[in-house]
Amino acid sequence: MLDRTRIEELRHAAVPPALHVIDGERRPASDGGVLEVISPLDGRAFTTMARGTQQDADAAIAAARRAFDEGGWRDMAPAARKKILLKWADLIAGNALELAVLGVRDNGTEIGMALKAEPLSAAGTIRYYAEALDKLSGEIAPTDPGVLGLVHREPVGVVGAIVPWNFPLMIGAWKFAPALAAGNTVVLKPAETASLTLVRLAELALEAGLPPGVFNVVTGPGPVVGAAIGLSMEVDVLVFTGSGATGRRLLEYAARSNLKRVYLELGGKSPNIVFADTPDLAQAVKVSANGIFRNSGQVCVAGSRLLVERSIHDRFVEALAGQVQVMTVGDPLDPATGAGAVNSLAQLDRNLGFVEEARALGREVRIGGKRILEETGGYYMAPTIVTGVAPSDRLARDEVFGPVLAVIPFDTEEEAVAIANGTDYGLAAAVWTRDLSRAHRMVRAIRAGVVHVNTYGGADLTVPLGGVKQSGNGHDKSLHAFDKYLDLKTAWIKL
């Protein structure tokens, strides 16, 4: 049960300016510059953060390089490294409500989701990789008896991480936790509209005993700080979650610098496919609504395309609209809220632009399609269902990243597969059917990194998340995440 009194105290608490955390110190921007932090709850500034410069990014990278090369973290006994990471996780969990409310004020996620998906998820992720780090081992090759072939796993070095605004702690931890557990050092750049919790996390890291330079956070504009990380000759691996345009730019930066490895998660246009033989239609309606409208649709794997078999299309859409009508949209710090704020005014305008374009094409806005609660000064949008969408429409092909659902009817399994695969993305998907054979066929046929069956979302840390096509490369989560942060080295020893 959430403590409403404590939430209200934290809602109104003064938030000190967020400073960089570089080489174990809290530092302002080298030129003293700051950016206002605007809350999507009411459109007002409530603190500032350091506006990072090239010099700040370079200082963080230099600190990470020195910390790695000196070997204090890299060569620390695995049990000792684990102990520090577990203490860090405990500190995060102990400050979970403070972190969750701070994050909600910064990015607008509803508090019920934010608490679980942000600090508690980050703490769990750090614990998972901390417990796994001393299970990593090398190999002995089955070669000639006169030779000893050894395969060592070694940390890659300095990892640059650039993370988005929708779930900064969760997605950030997916990247820095395995990187740190493997013995690397990290320079992390949060999104400009969701930096506060990651700065606080870095402060807790120092309290837990992470050595100076091992985990650095630099806030500020992507074209400055992000570019500095991408172009650095001292960053060995770059990991990123965000837009395709930025992902392409980071690949160019890698080519222009040291050919650093770049791993990208670039979002999706995930199909949620409902067949007429769905085992529980009411459950499919409820889960489908949450799959697109929780966190105002600002979820990488959101089921933003609903493909419904034509024979149940009208009935399903009617039930879905009814589900949306009872969803509470509003103050994210009210535990009763089902969907919170859109992250920024720019994102809200983008969402509404997609709806207006659909209207201009003659598509029906079945429900929603407008800004709401404007009197609060915040950025809120009514959950929106658009029917009659053609697979070729931009609404069916491009990621909105907002509470906008495109509904498309289909007649056959083959048609559903063709529509599902008919975008540049391939991150997630779902299939609702009681036919086990069909479920397996669909899992095999759909090009996506994760395919849910008779559910949407909920895949935990034990399984990988990654995309195909223009949804990116590489995997977060699970033990497979270590692959990005470890090099293989062969020792070939003549006996």
Residues acting as catalytic residues:
265
Please give the Cα distance from 297 to 345 (Å, whole number): 15
CA 408 to chain centre: 27
CB of 448 within 8 A of CB of 424? no
Please give the Cα distance from 165 to 379 (Å, whole number): 15
Give kind and range of the element (H or E) at residue 475: none
Residue where the block lists tokens 């990991």:
239
Please give the Cα distance from 495 to 492 (Å, whole number): 10
Cα–Cα separations (whole angstroms), residue 3 to 122, 252, 408:
21, 47, 42
Contacts of residue 8, Cβ cutoff 8 Å, sequence gap at least 6 = 333
- Cα dihedral 417→419→425→429 (10° resolution): -50
Residue where the block lists tokens 């702690």:
169
Q: What is the 3-state secondary structure (H, E, C) of 315-342?
A: HHHHHHHHHHHCCCECCCCCCCCCECCC
Cα–Cα separations (whole angstroms), residue 148 to 144, 145, 154, 185, 495:
8, 7, 19, 31, 7
Contacts of residue 469, Cβ cutoff 8 Å, sequence gap at least 6 = 424, 425, 426, 447
